[in-house]
Amino acid sequence: MEDKRELLKQPLHGIYIPILLILFGTLIFGVEYLPYSIAFIVVISSGKLYEVWNNRTSMDKSVWKEFELIDRTIIGPMTSIYRFKLNRENEILDIPTGHHVACCFTIDGKDEMRYYSPISNQFDAGFFDILVKHYEKGKVTRRLAALHEGQTAKFRGPFGKLNYEPNMAKELGLIAGGSGITPILQVITRIITNPEDHTKINLIFANETDKDILLKNEIDEIAKKYPYFNVHYTLTNPPADWDGSSGYVNKEMIEKYLPSVSNENRIFICGPPAMKKSLKEQAIELGWETDNIFCF
C-alpha cells in the first residue's frame, strides 16, 4: 500500500504547493508583504534542497562513484566478501531483486568493467556487500583482492532484467553454479523476508568440490528455518562420504528437485554462460515454457 507521507517528499507536494499557497496568501493580505514572502520561500526552498542533497543515493546508474572498502572477509578458497561504505549511515542499497552493480578499474589505460550482484539485503544500512570469486589471471578480481581497507573502487548501477514480483510464481526452481549463487541469494532473501510472499523455493546448487560451496552454512540455516525452502547440492568432484548428487545438473535432477512443469511455476538459472544455455535447453525439453525460465 502506498505511504501517503511519501507524497510530501515529491517536489509537487513538498515545494510547489506550499510556495503557491504562500504566494496566494500574500495576494490576499496585500502585495506589500511580497518581499517577506519571497525571503521566506527562499529559506524553506534552501532547506528542502539541502534535505534532498543529504538524502541523495550513493549509487548512480550513469556516473561512476568511488566507494570506500571498509571490510573484507575471506569465506572460501579464492572467495571473499567485500564491504563498501555508502554515503550515509542509514542508507540502504535498495536495488531491485536479482539486479547487479558494475565495478570498474582502469588497467593499463583501459577501463575494465565487471558486474557483481550485491548479497547485502534491504535491511543492511550504511554499506553494501559483494561476494567475489577470484581468478588467478582475472583483471578486475586481482585488483579487488589488492584493495586495502580505506581504499576505494568505482561502482555504478543498478542494472538488471529480472522483474521480480512477490508471488509471481507458486513455486520457484532455482539453479546456481558457483558464484552464480549471488543473485539467487538476493531472490531467496527477498522472499523469506517478505511475509506477504508465499512462494515455495527449491534450489539446486552446483559446484566443483565441497570446499567450493559458497555460504553453505548460511544456506543450510535458511533451509532449517524456512520449511518452504529446500536446497540440493551437486558436485563434479564429490568426496567419498558425499550425500548429495554427483556431476553437472541434468534433467533427472531438474525433475526430482525442482517444481513440476506448470504455468504457475518458474525457473531462474545463474552460472557460467555454457551452464545457463545447456540448462535452459534441458528445461525446455522437459516441457518448460521459455517465458517461465529466466537466466541471469
Ligand X SMILES: Cc1cc2nc3c(=O)[nH]c(=O)nc-3n(C[C@H](O)[C@H](O)[C@H](O)COP(=O)(O)OP(=O)(O)OC[C@H]3O[C@@H](n4cnc5c(N)ncnc54)[C@H](O)[C@@H]3O)c2cc1C
| Sign of the dihedral defined by the CA atoms of residues 73, 76, 77, 80, in that order | negative
Q: What stretches of the chain adopt beta strand conformation (E)? A: 65-76, 79-85, 100-107, 110-116, 127-133, 152-159, 171-177, 200-207, 229-235, 245-246, 266-270, 293-295
Pick between residue 26 and residue 216 the one whose CB is nearest to ligand X.
Answer: 216
Contact 269, 178 (CB under 8 A): no
In the complex, the smallest distance separating the C-beta of residue 294 from ligand X, rounded to whole angstroms, is 12
Nearest residue to 174 via CA among 190, 159, 158: 190
User: Strand pairing of 171-177 and 200-207?
Assistant: parallel
Pick between residue 111 and residue 285 the one whose CB is nearest to ligand X.
Answer: 111
Query: In angstroms, rounded to a whole number, what is the distance separating the alpha carbons of residues 93 and 102?
Result: 14
In the complex, the smallest distance separating the C-beta of residue 259 from ligand X, rounded to whole angstroms, is 24
Pick between residue 131 and residue 169 the one whose CB is nearest to ligand X.
Answer: 131
In the complex, the smallest distance separating the C-beta of residue 269 from ligand X, rounded to whole angstroms, is 12
Pick between residue 141 and residue 245 the one whose CB is nearest to ligand X.
Answer: 141
Q: Which residue, judged by CB position, is nearest to ligand X in the bound state?
A: 138
Pick between residue 172 and residue 176 the one whose CB is nearest to ligand X.
Answer: 176
In the complex, the smallest distance separating the C-beta of residue 112 from ligand X, rounded to whole angstroms, is 6
3-state secondary structure of 135: coil
User: Strand pairing of 245-246 and 200-207?
Assistant: unpaired
In the complex, the smallest distance separating the C-beta of residue 177 from ligand X, rounded to whole angstroms, is 9
In the complex, the smallest distance separating the C-beta of residue 212 from ligand X, rounded to whole angstroms, is 12
Return residues touching ligand X (CB under 6 A): 100, 114-117, 130-133, 135, 137-141, 179, 182, 272, 296
Write a three-state SS string for 175-230.
EEEHHHHHHHHHHHHHHHCCCCCCCEEEEEEEECCHHHCCCHHHHHHHHHHCCCEE
Pick between residue 140 and residue 257 the one whose CB is nearest to ligand X.
Answer: 140
Query: In angstroms, rounded to a whole number, what is the distance separating the alpha carbons of residues 288 and 284?
Result: 5
In the complex, the smallest distance separating the C-beta of residue 113 from ligand X, rounded to whole angstroms, is 9
Contact 129, 82 (CB under 8 A): yes
Pick between residue 44 and residue 104 the one whose CB is nearest to ligand X.
Answer: 104
